[in-house]
């Protein structure tokens, strides 16, 4: 049956017919019993910006369909909300400070195992197409590496699926540049109106911010478009049912208080899994997982041993039973990304705890300064005394050393309950979990940290003092977190269960 999806595009209506998930003959003869794997990862998108996660305006029909016929993970967490460290963490199955590449623009060391190389050695055809941001475009983990093509870096995905060797299982790492700034509008997705926009409460609601978000919405939908193109081709080839598909992002949307931050809007990822061979009934799960769990899952499904270096845990039990619990706690970190930072997060039960080890530094991300439009609007409003209390976190200086949030009651993490006596036991539990993880994984606070790329803006007597001159595109990196303890040699996963 044809599933017809209506896209409203400025000035006209485009009707896109996508035929998915119907029965079809296997075009390739007897298939290899091992599953194929397609991992989709976008730039800079928050988990809540997909229809299947409840967004009322952004059209993501292809991801929604995968969720409707697969499994939607409602508590999937990144290990960092920063481009290259996030990707290096996923590809190794290790925490950023254990990879040797914990900061923006730090290259993954050659001696760090990439889990796709094990798949390749076992006979998988492995491809990376689109954004890399981990190592060079020649790497032992992949048979083929391309830059993807087009505004989204996704133009060659269809050809890769069509031209793959038909006698091998495959692992495709499809990495979209959507929605990284600057915006690119084309005919692959709807063009949204500012009236369609839902402004997060920590941003100021101005016409400029709405226009900025509307262009971002377009890129979310374009990511969805190419996911649909690939999925339709997998179905046409008759291999969809034996293909594990995972849809994710590398960090939160590129707006103030999202990207680089450890709140859910920055550190939580959509995680939609479609795998009919294991998911008997469509479901949503509340079980916690970390993106480092992808590596262990793929290796297990391919029938391979999971090396000691992988700190993740397979989430296959959840695919079989959405009520299963693989881990009761997840951790994340915020290291240098244009500005100095050393924050650590632990999520457990219904609580999210953040420890800031540089409270004297203003806790800024590049998207929270004045380089981009929504950041400028926020700073202008604050200088004029027009921001509300919940729009002022990025201006705190000094920044709170500890934050504790009750997630279900405060989904945007706006109300810090760290000093409320009713939560003293949860605060102590969070401190203990983080202390154990710090010791077991070899995390350290640099004595000689990488300096700010530039001095951040300031507001003095209602006037904005502009940012200092940029010190080049990339700073020379100084001491990395974990370097003092040789954390790259440590494989301990840290706490998985609350009781140890």
CA 476, 480, 485, 491 torsion: positive or negative?
negative
Mean pLDDT, rounded, of the chain: 92
Q: Is residue 24 part of a domain?
A: no
Cis amide prior to 133 (ω within 30 degrees): no
- Angle, helices 83-92 vs 293-301, to 10°: value is 30
Structural domain count of the chain: 2
CB 12 within 8 A of CB 190: no
Structural domain containing residue 343: 333-489
Please compute the mean of the pLDDT values over residues 361-386 and round it to a whole number: 94
What is the per-residue pLDDT for 31?
58
Does one domain contain both 40 and 82? yes
Q: Is residue 132 part of a domain?
A: yes
Please compute the mean of the pLDDT values over residues 470-482 and round it to a whole number: 81
Does one domain contain both 277 and 323? yes
- Angle, helices 373-383 vs 207-236, to 10°: value is 150
Q: Is residue 48 part of a domain?
A: yes
Does one domain contain both 322 and 409? no
Tokens of 110: 């050659």
Does one domain contain both 400 and 470? yes
Q: Is the pLDDT of residue 457 over 80?
A: yes
Does one domain contain both 287 and 396? no
What is the per-residue pLDDT for 6?
31
Least Cα distance to 40 among 231, 249, 218, 268 occurs for 249
Whole-model pTM: value is 0.92
Please compute the mean of the pLDDT values over residues 122-134 and round it to a whole number: 97
Does one domain contain both 319 and 413? no
32 vs 148, residue with greater confidence: 148
Does one domain contain both 256 and 273? yes
Q: Is residue 44 part of a domain?
A: yes
Q: Is the pLDDT of residue 27 over 50?
A: no
Q: List all residues 6 or more positions away from 63 whose beta carbon is below 8 Å from its beta carbon.
A: 50, 51, 52, 224, 227, 247, 270, 272
pLDDT tens per residue, range 403-439:
999 999 999 999 999 999 999 999 999 999 999 999 9
CATH label of the domain that carries residue 190: 3.40.720.10
Which of the four pLDDT bands, split at 50, 70 and 90, describes residue 30?
low
Q: Is residue 81 part of a domain?
A: yes
- 71-73/36-42 β-pairing: unpaired
What is the per-residue pLDDT for 472?
63
Does one domain contain both 322 and 394? no
What is the per-residue pLDDT for 93?
98
Burial class (CB in 10 A: 0-12, 13-18, 19+), 397: middle
Q: Is residue 20 part of a domain?
A: no
- C-alpha span between 468 and 375 (Å, rounded): 16
Please compute the mean of the pLDDT values over residues 184-196 and round it to a whole number: 97
Does one domain contain both 434 and 447? yes
Tokens of 186: 């084309």
Does one domain contain both 222 and 89? yes
């Amino acid at each position: 049956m044809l599933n017809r999806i209506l896209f409203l595009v400025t000035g006209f209506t485009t009707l896109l017919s996508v035929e998915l998930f119907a029965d079809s003959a296997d075009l390739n003869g007897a298939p290899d019993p091992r599953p194929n794997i397609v991992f989709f990862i976008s730039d800079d998108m928050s988990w809540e910006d997909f229809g299947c996660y409840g967004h009322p305006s952004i059209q993501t029909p292809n991801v929604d369909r995968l969720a409707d016929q697969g499994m939607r993970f409602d508590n999937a967490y990144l290990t960092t909300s920063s481009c290259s460290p996030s990707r290096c963490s996923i590809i190794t199955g290790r925490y950023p400070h254990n990879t040797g590449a914990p900061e923006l623009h730090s290259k993954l060391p050659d001696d760090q195992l990439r889990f796709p190389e094990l798949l390749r050695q076992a006979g998988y055809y492995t491809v990376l197409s689109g954004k890399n941001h981990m190592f060079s475009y020649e790497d032992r983990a992949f048979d083929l590496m391309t830059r993807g093509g087009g505004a989204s870096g996704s133009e060659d995905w269809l050809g890769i699926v069509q031209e793959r060797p038909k006698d091998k299982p495959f692992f495709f790492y499809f990495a979209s540049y959507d929605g990284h700034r600057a915006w690119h509008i084309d005919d692959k997705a709807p063009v949204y109106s500012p009236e369609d926009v839902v402004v997060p409460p920590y941003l100021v609601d101005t016409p400029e911010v709405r226009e900025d978000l509307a262009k971002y919405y377009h890129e979310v939908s374009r990511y969805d478009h190419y996911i649909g193109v690939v999925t339709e081709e997998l179905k046409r080839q008759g291999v969809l049912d034996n293909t594990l598909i995972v849809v994710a992002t590398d960090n939160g949307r590129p707006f103030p208080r999202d990207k680089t931050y450890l709140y859910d809007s920055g550190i939580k990822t959509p995680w939609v899994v479609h795998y009919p061979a294991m998911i008997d009934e469509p479901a949503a799960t509340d079980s916690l997982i970390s993106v480092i769990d992808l590596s262990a899952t793929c290796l297990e499904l391919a029938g391979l041993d999971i090396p000691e270096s992988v700190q993740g845990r397979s989430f296959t039990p959840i695919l079989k039973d959405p009520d299963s619990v693989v881990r009761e706690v997840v951790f994340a970190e915020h290291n240098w990304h244009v500005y100095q930072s050393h924050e650590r997060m632990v999520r457990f039960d219904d609580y999210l705890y953040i420890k800031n080890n540089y409270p004297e530094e203003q806790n800024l991300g590049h998207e929270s300064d004045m380089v981009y439009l929504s950041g400028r609007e926020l700073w202008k409003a604050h200088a004029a005394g027009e921001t509300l209390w919940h729009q002022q976190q990025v201006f705190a200086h000094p920044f709170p050393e500890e934050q504790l949030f009750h997630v279900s009651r405060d989904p945007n993490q706006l109300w810090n309950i760290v000093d409320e006596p009713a939560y003293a036991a949860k605060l102590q539990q969070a401190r203990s979990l983080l202390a154990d993880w710090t010791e077991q994984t070899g995390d350290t606070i640099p004595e000689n940290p990488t300096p700010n790329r530039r001095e951040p803006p300031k507001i003095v007597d209602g006037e904005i003092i502009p940012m200092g001159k940029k010190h080049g595109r990339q700073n020379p990196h100084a001491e990395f977190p974990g370097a003092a303890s040789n954390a790259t040699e440590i494989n301990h996963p840290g706490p998985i269960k609350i009781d140890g």
